[in-house]
Structure 1
Amino acid sequence: MSTKHWNVGIIGLGGIGDYHMNNLAKITNTSVGAICDVNAKAVEGVGDRLHLPAAKRYTDYRAIIADPDIDFLISGVSNKFHYDILKTAIACGKPIFSEKPFTRTIEEADDLLQLYEANPIPCMIGFSYRYRPCFQYVKGLVADGTLGRIRHIAAHYLQEENAPMFNKEYTWRFNKEMAGSGILADIGSHMVDAARFFVGEFTQVSGMMTTFTDRRLNKRTGEYAQVDVDDFTGFQSVLEGGVMGSFYTHKNAIGTGNQFNVTLFGDLGTVRMSVEKPNEVHLTLRSGENLQLTESVIHLDEKSVKPMLQDFVDYLEQRNSSSLPTLMDGYRNQQVLQAIIDSAQDGITRRL
């Protein structure tokens, strides 16, 4: 059991910031020691709620990162700022949990990797679905050979919120300068991480991207703004070992909530999982002399899986973790995203 108490700095006080603060409250040896957001009003409101002194309420991310009282950081900001915040954390030698995607571009990712290799810090990238019971269980099935040799992974990630009927307003996610890419960076990056988690590295990709709704109302200006990122992405791939991959994602799927489904096809069986039912795994096997078909639904205990932020604290305390998505996982993910974007633009399959 740890005897250290960890003071945590929160950068970004939107919905993601609240989500992480709620999870942090469940870890006994951590507490929020400082907060930061460009919105001074949000800083005051959250600071009052947490009873933080004025000196621990920041509007400049560089100041909270440099704060000697802060042991590690949690960053949940717009994609545009991932690079600057990670770069500053590396320079300060400050451990950090950063939301995905890693960066907007491969150029930013390459630069961060070079800085990190010169001055490595403990870093976790927020690929949270690794911490669902279904993901952990299926990882074990793959490792112990239950499915036989994996031949194909298929995944889709669908939501409905961007469909025209909902008149979703223009936000930073629809802007290339702010987001890097659209649906691919937003939720498609989770599909890439799932494939790497279960199978291994991508060796080639062929992508297609389009924009269904190319103008959205900016409520701040009262005018329609051009959407210059994808809101549909699909890609075929080859992963290490010759495993084939099929993936698509968009938020134009009427009737879906948070439908992230993954299927693995092996020589001995097939396994299906959905993050909407994180404690279930559907397993189909053939075995015995008559190749008897068995289908089962495995019910899992969510308490058997360590929460994501607890895993990061354990990592900082030098306890083992096999699942933790590191800075290198963020970098490899960005390489794949860039290859998909490049392939979609010129129609040429990219090798990685």
Structure 2
Amino acid sequence: MSKIWKAGIIGLGGIGEHHMGNWLKIPNTQIAAICDVNKQAVEKTGERLQLPPGKRYTDYEQLIADSDVDVVISGTSNNIHFDVLKSAIEHNKPIFSEKPFTRTMEEAEKLIGLYHQKPVPCVIGFSYRYRPCFQYVKRLVEQGTLGRIRHIAAHYLQEENAPMFEKGYSWRFSKELAGTGVLADIGSHMIDAARFFVGEFMTVNGMMTTFVEERLDPRTNERVKIDVDDFAGFQGVLEGGVMGTFYTHKNAIGTGNQFNVTLFGDLGTARIAVEKPFEVSLTMRDGERGQLVEKTVHLDGADVKPLLQDFIEYVENGSGSAFLPTLTDGYKNQQVLQMIIDSAQDGVTRSR
């Protein structure tokens, strides 16, 4: 890359800081402008980055329109995803946006329609595709090492929402702001993993419920009724007749960020865990007698480029790697989310 790529960062919370750090690790990159509704956070970050006052925004539209901003990196709450993506496409600004794609299919349909009219490089933050273990297993599947894939199973568990921790009410517990709860938050990663390894969902049966029905709002000191899920489970049939089983919640005492995926093929089984990104557990039948061979493959990750670097190469060249999660991936992910929601509400299997 010869050009200096200048990013505008929207959202200065934890995920925004994470993306800023990763962005500046890529050669020939700078941060041109920042934006957040919290003016104090904008000023603090602006001082740290030594940005001039005119590059410290509280209005995302102004940042996107800034001629010094080459690309946009957005890490906002879910209710802003649609607006930021829409503005970036209208301004012809390449954008990396956090998942989920949108809150609703109505928003998703509007965005995909606009994108088809004005195609702009857009990447959605399904970052686990860039774990070495994910890319290694993807190649195993493509090479046929595991044989025909028959079943994919995944769970994504954390403990932070369990009652003992008394986690307070925030935007993630609001249907208006988040769309859904744990399903959109971390369940969307399971959907993306299934699409990444196997292909599209053909049918889905979903279950959703709320374990903790009220939470204390620290701003008002009042208890608020929760109107989103904090458990989601679903089964599905994917392309090629592959069966899928999935569940997620944040009531799993003793877990950190336990996102595990298992692929069962006719010749072997592969198991990966996000918490062990440089390991793949393989169980194969080998030799004339089909002896059971179990091994752990250790990876160095040297051939895995960072997601944001892949994004920039997409902007420069018009195409990224085969791993890149594009706007279309975000849209198709949202379709599956909606299928799960609809099925959970009425108990009816949903099909593409």
Tell whether the structures are fold-level matches, with TM greater than 0.5. yes
2:271 counterpart residue number: 272
Q: How many residues align?
A: 351
Structure 2 residue runs without a partner (length 5+): none
2:143 counterpart residue number: 144
Shift, 1:21, TM fit = 0.6
Shift, 1:302, TM fit = 2.4
- Paired letter, 1:272: R
Shift, 1:320, TM fit = 4.2
Shift, 1:287, TM fit = 2.5
Shift, 1:317, TM fit = 1.5
2:80 counterpart residue number: 81
- Paired letter, 1:211: T
Query: Secondary structure of the equivalent of 2:172?
Result: helix
**In structure 1, distance between residues paired with 2:286 and 2:266:** 11
**In structure 2, distance between residues paired with 1:264 and 1:169:** 37
Query: Secondary structure of the equivalent of 1:4?
Result: coil
Cα separation, partners in 2 of 1:320 and 1:122, compared to 1, 3 Å: closer
The percent of aligned pairs where both chains have the same amino acid is 70
**In structure 1, distance between residues paired with 2:348 and 2:320:** 41
After superposition, residues 258-337 of structure 1 pair within 5 angstroms as 258-318=257-317, 320-337=320-337
2:7 counterpart residue number: 8
**In structure 2, distance between residues paired with 1:307 and 1:301:** 14
1:339 counterpart residue number: 339
**In structure 2, distance between residues paired with 1:93 and 1:22:** 25
**In structure 2, distance between residues paired with 1:192 and 1:48:** 39
Please say if residues 311 and 320 of structure 2, whose CA atoms lie closer than 8 Å, have aligned partners that are also in contact: no
After superposition, residues 137-286 of structure 1 pair within 5 angstroms as 137-286=136-285
Query: Secondary structure of the equivalent of 2:297?
Result: strand
Measured against aligned partners, the alpha-carbon deviations of 1:46-88 in whole angstroms (never above 9, x if no partner) come to 0000000011000001000111110000000000000001111
Aligned structure 1 segments of 4 or more residues deviating by more than 2 angstroms = none
2:64 counterpart residue number: 65
1:109 counterpart residue number: 108
Shift, 1:25, TM fit = 1.4
Query: Secondary structure of the equivalent of 2:3?
Result: coil
Query: Secondary structure of the equivalent of 1:196?
Result: helix
TM-score by structure 1 length? 0.99
Query: Secondary structure of the equivalent of 2:244?
Result: strand
Query: Secondary structure of the equivalent of 2:100?
Result: coil
Q: Tell me whether 94-103 or 308-317 shows the greater mean CA deviation.
A: 308-317
Query: Secondary structure of the equivalent of 1:290?
Result: coil
- Paired letter, 1:268: L
Shift, 1:338, TM fit = 0.4
TM-score by structure 2 length? 0.99
Structure 1 residue runs without a partner (length 5+): none
Measured against aligned partners, the alpha-carbon deviations of 1:276-315 in whole angstroms (never above 9, x if no partner) come to 0000000011122211111110000123211111111111
Cα separation, partners in 2 of 1:108 and 1:192, compared to 1, 3 Å: same
**In structure 2, distance between residues paired with 1:188 and 1:133:** 21
Please say if residues 130 and 306 of structure 2, whose CA atoms lie closer than 8 Å, have aligned partners that are also in contact: yes
**In structure 1, distance between residues paired with 2:42 and 2:295:** 49
- Paired letter, 1:69: D
